[in-house]
A and B are shown apart, each in its own frame.
Chain A
Amino acid sequence: MINEVLHTLPQVLIDGLTLGAVYAIVALGYTMVYGILELINFAHGEIFMTGAFVGTAILLTFAGFGWLASMPALVALVLVLVVTSVVTGLLGMGIERVAYRPLRNAPKLITLITAIGVSFLLQDIVRFIAELKNGNYILTGPSLFSGQIGIKASSISSIFNDASVKSSFFIVLIVAVIMMVTLDFFVNKTKWGMAMRAVAQDRETAALMSVNVNKVIALTFFIGSALGGATGVLFAIQYGTIDPYIGFILGLKAFTAAVLGGIGNIRGAMFGGILLGVMEMFAAANLPVVSHGVLGAEYKDVFAFAILIIVLIFKPEGLFGKVSVEKV
């Protein structure tokens, strides 16, 4: 049994790392908004999904004009990433303006309900457009990086099997790392980042110190949503097929990742994302082996939610978070 688990380990780790990178960047969006507004932006998963669709639509248009063949894949990728993140960033700002800002002093339950409303709205709008244009809301984008690279893990030790990697894996990983490092730098080192942290600490006092709170919150939503949208593009490139309902569950898992790392903590979100991705892949590959086929790979979602529930109950501040004291 152990042998079987070890055999598949290299492939599991690579797949887990890819998925984990996606989770990590989506989790960043949750964490940023939560850190500043103490609001779970339920619609973030849908922004991710919209990003995936916008990116795929752009790629399909390029392919339709025949430009995709003529330009280097990397240029196309950068172009798509930039356009998509601007679109989803603006979308995020719009959502904040319409659904969250009027309710900033309302009870949290109400904001949560608008957030659910927004995510349902986005799901259906995207479905309309996709189905209208395409006849079917499940889209398959053109593959940009389709090469396969074999990793000779068996040469290290005969226990491991060889693994294979799509070359888009590296793109996903590299872009994810670049985004995370830039964001970390932005929040910790720049003036706007400082304003964000000030608003997160205390909104009123920050306002007194001539920080434009509304602007900062809008910017937070822009950055968080832009990251989410860009991740959507990466997801579409890596996994190929997308539908309007991928965002919800993935968003939920990314939220789990954010909670796991300590919500409100950017580095924690990255770590939680990668950890959750690897754990989930590990569970998907090994649950049937360990339980002798009793539990199928379908239980990986149960596994992820169980982690969420356990973390929330026993360590709600997460692995890296600070314990928050409730104000009365």
Chain B
Amino acid sequence: MKNWLHTIQQNKRLQAIIVGLYIVVTFFSLYLAQKSVVAFLLLLSSLLLLYFTTFSNRVKWLIGGVVMVVLLPLAASQGEAYQSYMEVATLVGIYIAMALGLNIVVGMAGLLDLGFVAFFALGAYTYGIFATGQANNFMPFGHYPLSGESFWVFIFIGCFVAALFGILLGVPVLRVKGDYLAIVTLGFGEIIRIIFNNLDKPVNITNGAMGLASVQPPRLFGIDFMYPSQFYYIVLVILITVIFAVRRLEFSKIGRAWKAVRENEIAAQAMGIHLVKTKLMAFAVGASFSGMMGVVFAAKQTFVDPTSFTLLESITILVMVILGGMGSVPGVILGAALVTILNLQVLTELTNWLNQLSLNGVINVPDALSPAKMQRFIFGVILILFALYRPQGLLPAKNPVFDEKELKDADKLVNAGVQKEVPQNVHLDS
């Protein structure tokens, strides 16, 4: 087995054949068997297979792009399950972006944030309030709801608002560390939720627990974006921007500063890292991704209410980061995809299957044990097992290793770059 893997790793043509064959087979299996969730998931996991190949980054992105943009929607669009597949894919994208945001805060900067969903809520409400008639209650000028064209501006506004609140949260919170920080951010998340839940008086801003209904769909060139299959492309574009930004940030000066702060705050300070600036930056950047996706989420659901932003959501995103591997971008993407699919597809499918069995009288599963209600249990188990046995997660974070001699030789070349990547144990200390 090891030999096999080794030969495959050596031989790029073999890899190309395997990946190509895999994509073709799963593509056709989804194309032909429309109702098969398994085929859909297998086609999605071709991206994971792609990640493990030794192609250059550009080739990987190219193939991945083709799969995501053309093959997946094309194969899924042949049957009535199309929209539900795209719904899942869209939500996966939204959660990946959020998990990447939290990954910056927790994984890279080592600041445990248990109220992360608050930023998502801020983004969602920012768009929700202005894209419904709600804003008429407190905005004396302007005509609301704003038309769907404003959605594209609101992506940036949501991003900005969330970043602003990230900084606002960060400024006072910077004085506390470790567990205290976790509790304070948890409190912040709860405060935001309670405020949104009660901000229907004296001025009705958020419509309280009733939520905001019929949010305007985004509109571009006169086309309304109503279906998940359309949102899929919006999310894809934002997601690719986010991934690109995260990769660039990770290896930039600020990214290295985050990791230094995570490893040892005092040592980092001694090396001239501005602690306040670094931490605030982490909060702001992490929050901004979440805010952006909040806007998309509000537009997609066309309904916003406080129940979507509970502590369970914050923990869900944390589970994604831990499962994938704190600090590791590919890991977090994998973790987010796994958890979202688990929640949306696997658990519901299992529930349906068990219900079917009980209906047929094969076995009798009490309602209390239905898998759809098992989320907390599963998350708890994942958190404990991974913290105990695999704190680095599924795909551990890697740091680039530089060869000193080669760097010196290539002094003139500005792009003397990343040589190879070796696994590095994520060491988080608060």
| Size bracket of the B interface | 35 or more
Interface presence of B311 (CB below 8 A) = yes
Question: Which one, A182-190, A211-219, A274-282, A302-310, is touching chain B?
Answer: A302-310
Separation in Å of the A72 CB from the closest CB of chain B? 35
Given contacts A114-B383, A120-B315, contact A132 B366 (CB under 8 A): yes
Complex Cα spacing A108 to B373, Å: 30
* A299→B383 contact, CB < 8 A: no
* B180→A312 contact, CB < 8 A: yes
> Across the interface, which residues of B come within 8 angstroms of A151, CB to CB?
none
> Across the interface, which residues of A come within 8 angstroms of B91, CB to CB?
none
* A113→B191 contact, CB < 8 A: no
- Chain B 45-57 interface 0/1 with A at a Cβ cutoff of 8 Å (1 = within): 0000000000000
Interface presence of A255 (CB below 8 A) = yes
- Chain B 112-154 interface 0/1 with A at a Cβ cutoff of 8 Å (1 = within): 1010000000000000000000000000000000000000000
Q: Which residues of chain A from 110 to 160 have any CB-CB distance to chain B below 8 Å in the complex?
A: 110-114, 116-125, 127-128, 131-132, 137
> Across the interface, which residues of B come within 8 angstroms of A293, CB to CB?
201-202
Separation in Å of the B334 CB from the closest CB of chain A? 18
Given contacts A294-B202, A309-B187, A316-B180, contact A117 B379 (CB under 8 A): yes
- Chain A 249-274 interface 0/1 with B at a Cβ cutoff of 8 Å (1 = within): 10010010001000000000000000
**Contact pick for B112, options A109, A137, A308, CB 8 Å:** A109
Interface presence of A64 (CB below 8 A) = no
**Contact pick for A107, options B194, B376, B377, B427, CB 8 Å:** B427
Given contacts A123-B376, A298-B194, contact A113 B387 (CB under 8 A): yes
**Contact pick for B201, options A98, A113, A294, A308, CB 8 Å:** A294
Task: Work out how many contacts link A and B, with CB atoms closer than 8 A.
Answer: 142
> Across the interface, which residues of B come within 8 angstroms of A325, CB to CB?
none
Q: Which residues of chain A from 280 to 306 have any CB-CB distance to chain B below 8 Å in the complex?
A: 293-294, 296, 298-299, 301-302, 305-306
Complex Cα spacing A124 to B311, Å: 15
Complex Cα spacing A2 to B185, Å: 35
* A313→B182 contact, CB < 8 A: no
Interface presence of A106 (CB below 8 A) = yes
> Across the interface, which residues of A come within 8 angstroms of B180, CB to CB?
259, 312, 316
Given contacts A99-B388, A132-B366, contact A313 B198 (CB under 8 A): no
Interface presence of B266 (CB below 8 A) = yes
**Contact pick for A312, options B184, B197, B374, B388, CB 8 Å:** B184
Interface presence of B330 (CB below 8 A) = no
Interface presence of A40 (CB below 8 A) = yes
> Across the interface, which residues of B come within 8 angstroms of A66, CB to CB?
none
* B429→A108 contact, CB < 8 A: yes
**Contact pick for A255, options B112, B183, B201, B311, CB 8 Å:** B183
Interface presence of B17 (CB below 8 A) = no
Instruction: Tell me the interface secondary structure of chain A in the complex.
Output: helix
| Size bracket of the A interface | 35 or more
* B112→A112 contact, CB < 8 A: yes
* A309→B195 contact, CB < 8 A: no
* B188→A309 contact, CB < 8 A: yes
**Contact pick for A132, options B201, B368, B388, CB 8 Å:** B368
Given contacts A107-B427, A110-B391, A306-B191, contact A117 B183 (CB under 8 A): no
* A127→B368 contact, CB < 8 A: yes
Interface presence of A103 (CB below 8 A) = yes
* B190→A313 contact, CB < 8 A: no
Q: Sort A-B residue pairs by CB-CB distance and give the 8 closest, nearest first.
A: A117-B383, A121-B380, A131-B368, A120-B380, A305-B187, A117-B384, A124-B377, A124-B376
20 further interface pairs, Cβ-Cβ under 8 Å (given A112-B179, A117-B384, A308-B187): A102-B388, A107-B430, A108-B429, A111-B387, A113-B383, A114-B388, A116-B315, A117-B382, A117-B387, A120-B380, A121-B377, A121-B381, A255-B183, A294-B201, A296-B201, A298-B198, A301-B194, A305-B191, A313-B176, A316-B175
